[in-house]
Amino acid sequence: MSLSHYRVPAKLGQGGLGVIYRAEDTNLPRQVAIEASPDRFAKLPATLNHPNIPAIHRLEKHKAGRLIVLELVMKRAIAAALYVALGLGVFGNASGEGITIGNYTLVSEKRVARGVWEMVYKAQAINRGFTAYGVTATVTSRSKDTSVVEGTLSFGDVYSLTSVTSSDTFTIRHNRAHQLDPKALVWSVSSAGITLITITSNPANQTFTVDGQTYTSSQTLSWVAGSSHTVATTSPQSSGGTRYVFANWSDGGAISHSIMAPANATTYTVTFTMQYQLTTAASPAPAGAITFNPTSADGFYDSGTSVQLTAVEGATYLFTSWGGVLAGSANPQSVTLTSPLSVVAYFRPAVSSPIETEAIQATASGPITDRTAVEDRLTQVRSIRHSSAAKYTRVVIELDGRVPHQEKRLSDPKRIYFDLSNASLGPKASPKAIIVKDRFLRRVRAAQNQPGIVRIVLDLAEGTNCTVSELSDPFRIVIDIGK
């Protein structure tokens, strides 16, 4: 089958105003879609620019009628339905074009004066054009024998190629009974039409609702001009350490508000402020705290906020260094929130516990004559042992009780060390280095360089990572090193 210079291999769909064909333009060549329809049915789609509406390439004359040549968009799931929609005219009719009023039905009549009769009618709106929404019609009379008493009718939505009987009536007066000349009545028809409304969010993919329906992506909706709709969102919307707090709607409305559909295509955007969580901790937990400036009730800050952190020492502890995204011992320090961040403040016991005080006093006055008495009051490191496996090496530090300890990681050279407070090396925990030299761990060293503090150092292989955990009964610090 051929139409003009188009070869037509298949039909895509059929609507009330025509058949849609898939065709090949032999002049260019290119694949197109063709509908044979009156000129006026191409006017509205030709004014629209939307990714889900096929573009109109041109109009051509043919013995079968006017040919509307359309973009072929077979890869879109909605395409075939939209071609049929062009035939059905569901894009809306904002002017009442193609609608006539007729098929009058007499509802009642009565004589109101000598020779004057009042008659009440219903009427039908007959639509031979595009679908029209919110159709109203007003009647006037061109005859001196007929006058209009009440002349406005409402029909609601009148779809293409259908007719709708009015929900109300019109009233005329005439000087003779049972005589209505339809030619004496002049009707003015109007309708609301359809507007393409886009609802979206910034940043994208945030949750919002339209008339109670929940969406997480931009939506383009067809609304009847003048109709009322409700848009809303929730706040905050969280994902891990990132959350989004409602800022505004582009029309200035509240977080939930009504919209009267405008006559022109419009976009409504709900905008959110991005916030990130700042997590902090003191190590050991009772040793001190971290204060913030500015403060936050729940630890979340607007993206880009600079926060000053100050380590506050407990009564018997001293601040030593920062961990997490901060390093060094400068206090205070600041961070800028461009992602979720975590900061640790490390503390060690101050030289004020009875054990350390006695040890230091003994050292200051000369050689310690009763070191055993002091060390008996310290928690002993019972043993330091290691085991190697294919994917990791494990080091276990076993003590005869729980002690405060500080962990520190260095990158050059690659190592991790632990300072154990109120502790001493037991007989089996020799200060002699343990040489390992496997894929993950080079050696382990232990020493007691100052009274009451045991330092254990693990020299690691490059490219390794380690996790630290604590076990009880007996108390153990377990370090797993792997890649």
pTM of the model: 0.48
Quick one: 151 and 178 in the same domain?
yes
Asked if the structure places residue 55 within a domain, the reply is yes
What integer pLDDT is reported at residue 13 of this predicted model? 59
> 98 in the Ramachandran plot: left (φ > 0), alpha (ψ -120 to 50) or beta?
left
Quick one: 111 and 136 in the same domain?
yes
Alpha helices by DSSP H, listed for 271-338, are none
Asked if the structure places residue 16 within a domain, the reply is yes
Query: What number of residues does the chain have?
Result: 483
470: pLDDT strictly greater than 90: no
User: Distance of alpha carbon 235 from its chain centroid, rounded?
Assistant: 11
Quick one: 386 and 344 in the same domain?
no
Asked if the structure places residue 43 within a domain, the reply is yes
324-365 pLDDT per residue, tens: 999 998 999 999 999 999 999 999 887 544 434 444 344 334
Question: Greater confidence, 250 or 422?
Answer: 250
423 token code pair:
């502790």
- Tokens 């393409």 label which residue? 196
Among candidate residues 298, 336, 328, the one with its CA nearest the CA of residue 311: 328
Concatenating the DSSP letter of every residue in 161-201 gives T-EEE-SS-EEEEESSTT---GGGEEEEEE---EEEEEEEE
Total domain count, the chain: 4
Quick one: 402 and 296 in the same domain?
no
Domain extent, residue 377, equals: 366-482
475: pLDDT strictly greater than 90: no
The domain spanning residue 370 has which CATH number?
2.60.40.3500
What integer pLDDT is reported at residue 16 of this predicted model? 44
Asked if the structure places residue 115 within a domain, the reply is yes
Quick one: 468 and 381 in the same domain?
yes
Residue 172 CA to residue 2 CA, distance in Å, equals 54
Quick one: 476 and 445 in the same domain?
yes
In degrees and rounded to multiples of 5, residue 66 shows phi and psi of: -70, 135
Q: Using DSSP, state whether 44 is helix, strand or coil.
A: helix
Please state, rounded to an integer, the average pLDDT across all residues of the chain: 82
What integer pLDDT is reported at residue 107 of this predicted model? 94
Quick one: 150 and 112 in the same domain?
yes
142-158 pLDDT per residue, tens: 888 889 999 999 998 88
Mean pLDDT of 106-134: 87
The domain spanning residue 121 has which CATH number?
2.60.40
461 token code pair:
């292989």
Quick one: 83 and 14 in the same domain?
yes
187-225 pLDDT per residue, tens: 999 887 678 899 999 999 999 999 999 999 999 988 888
What integer pLDDT is reported at residue 151 of this predicted model? 93
User: Which amino acid is it at 347?
Assistant: F
User: Distance of alpha carbon 418 from its chain centroid, rounded?
Assistant: 44
Asked if the structure places residue 229 within a domain, the reply is no
**Domain final position from 48, 63, 88:** 88
Contact between 411 and 340 under an 8 Å Cβ cutoff? The reply is no
What are all long-range contacts of 104-110, with beta carbons under 8 Å and residues at least 24 apart?
104/180, 104/182, 105/165, 106/180, 107/169, 109/177, 109/178
443 token code pair:
């050696």
Q: Using DSSP, state whether 82 is helix, strand or coil.
A: helix
Asked if the structure places residue 473 within a domain, the reply is yes
296 token code pair:
């936050």
What integer pLDDT is reported at residue 76 of this predicted model? 39
Q: Using DSSP, state whether 235 is helix, strand or coil.
A: coil
In degrees and rounded to multiples of 5, residue 478 shows phi and psi of: -115, 125
Cα end-to-end distance, the chain, whole Å: 69
Residue 159 CA to residue 93 CA, distance in Å, equals 10
Contact between 87 and 129 under an 8 Å Cβ cutoff? The reply is no
In degrees and rounded to multiples of 5, residue 413 shows phi and psi of: -80, 165
374-420 pLDDT per residue, tens: 445 688 899 999 999 889 999 999 998 888 888 898 888 899 999 98
215 token code pair:
């969406």
User: Distance of alpha carbon 212 from its chain centroid, rounded?
Assistant: 17
Residue 112 CA to residue 345 CA, distance in Å, equals 97
Quick one: 400 and 305 in the same domain?
no
356 token code pair:
């350390």
Quick one: 115 and 60 in the same domain?
no
Highest mean pLDDT among 14-23, 290-299, 393-402: 290-299
Among candidate residues 347, 346, 345, the one with its CA nearest the CA of residue 279: 345
Q: What angle do CA 223, 199, 221 make, to 5 degrees?
A: 30
Q: Using DSSP, state whether 87 is helix, strand or coil.
A: helix
Among candidate residues 285, 277, 289, 279, the one with its CA nearest the CA of residue 332: 289
DSSP strand pairing (194-202 vs 266-283): parallel
Asked if the structure places residue 236 within a domain, the reply is no
Asked if the structure places residue 444 within a domain, the reply is yes
241-270 pLDDT per residue, tens: 999 999 999 999 999 999 999 988 899 999
Residue 281 is given by DSSP the state E
**Domain final position from 54, 88, 122:** 88
**Domain final position from 130, 158, 190:** 190
Quick one: 34 and 73 in the same domain?
yes
Residue 58 CA to residue 30 CA, distance in Å, equals 14
Quick one: 139 and 104 in the same domain?
yes
